[in-house]
Amino acid sequence: MLTYKLSENITPCPPEDVFGEGGPKPGQYVVVVTPGEWEEKRGLFDMGLELDPAVQEIVSTKAEVNFDSLTGNFLIPDRKALGERDWRFSFALDEKGIVFIDATGKAAEMTDSIARSKQTNRPCLERFLYDFLEEIVKDDLHLMEKMEKELDEFEDRILAEEDKLDLKRINHMRAQMRELRIHYEQLIDMTQELEENENGFFKEKDLRYLHLFMNRMLRLSDIATSVRDHTTQVRELYQTQLDVRQNRTMTLLTVIATIFMPLTLITGWYGMNFHYMPELEYRWSYPAVFLVCLAIAVGCLVFFKKKKWM
């Protein structure tokens, strides 16, 4: 069990500094426990739990109101392996503090990061929640900016008519943005639930921290939607370029077929070899037909060039 006091910094401390025989001592706290420790020591926190935090089956990020507490879950996609790995843990909180029930170590890692990097002149549970939620999404803007640059490079390569393009990567980015957007929507719902403050755990003046985070989530959700739309545009651009290439090929084949149609007619006509075809007996028939065929081919080429069909 890891215990912290909420002061100017989140200060690690032994459990005895936070809990007495009758329950939590004065002052707010943050605790990280494993599922086994939670089952063993849950009475120590003196929370009025109607809904037990779901430790085993976590399928989304959400918060639920109890009679005298709040419980909920975090499902956090791993930004280094979006769509492949995520972190799942539960929490319970009241006006005295918050308890994370985590077997993965992610909650402890995030809390330690906040303890090392954050400092405030007004320590409170609301500010810790804001810092904790910010820790979840701290690198997301940079991640989406990198994806935007990668998509821009894809567009340049498509317009340069490069053949070797990894379309699977575009589909993968689209799926990643869909997962992030769903994650943001769940965080927005959770923040709204906390901001409702149904049990009166949070001070009205400190609810602004939750409101700030929700506004940031709305902006990140809009950016994720924009990046996802960009992947669709890149796919459509690639399909358009394929269509242009096919049209060029079809145009070239049509031009060739058009040039050879009159030549085929001439060769077919004189290939009949009827006995009474006087041209067959003329000395200059072959050169004349050759020149006519050449003139037809050149005339067609000049015509198509003027029409810009070639």
Residue 273 sits in a domain whose CATH number is 1.20.58.340
Q: Which sign does the torsion angle of CA 258, 263, 269, 273 carry? A: negative
**Which of the listed residues 81, 103, 122 is the one where a domain comes to its end?**
122
Can you give the pLDDT at residue 64?
87
The total domain count for the chain is 2
CATH code (residue 2): 3.30.460
DSSP 9: S
Q: Please state, in angstroms and rounded to a whole number, the distance separating the CA atoms of residues 239 and 150.
A: 18
Pairing of strands 29-33, 70-77: unpaired
Q: Find the helix packing angle between 167-196 and 140-159, rounded to 10°.
A: 150
Please report the pLDDT score of residue 296 as a whole number. 86
- Is the residue at 227 inside a domain? no
Q: Could you say which residues of the chain have pLDDT below 70?
A: 22, 48-56, 309-310
> What tokens appear for 191 in the block?
């923040």
pLDDT recorded at residue 32:
93
- The Cα-based distances of 44 to 19, 39, 48, 85 in angstroms read 7, 11, 12, 33
Domain boundary among 95, 122, 149: 122
Domain boundaries, position 4: 1-122
CA angle 7, 12, 16 (to 5 degrees): 100
Strands 70-77 and 97-101 turn out to be: unpaired
Which SS3 state, helix, strand or coil, does residue 3 take?
A: strand
239 and 192 in contact (C-beta within 8 Å)?
no
Confidence (pLDDT) at 48: 63
Predicted local distance difference test score (pLDDT) of residue 100: 93
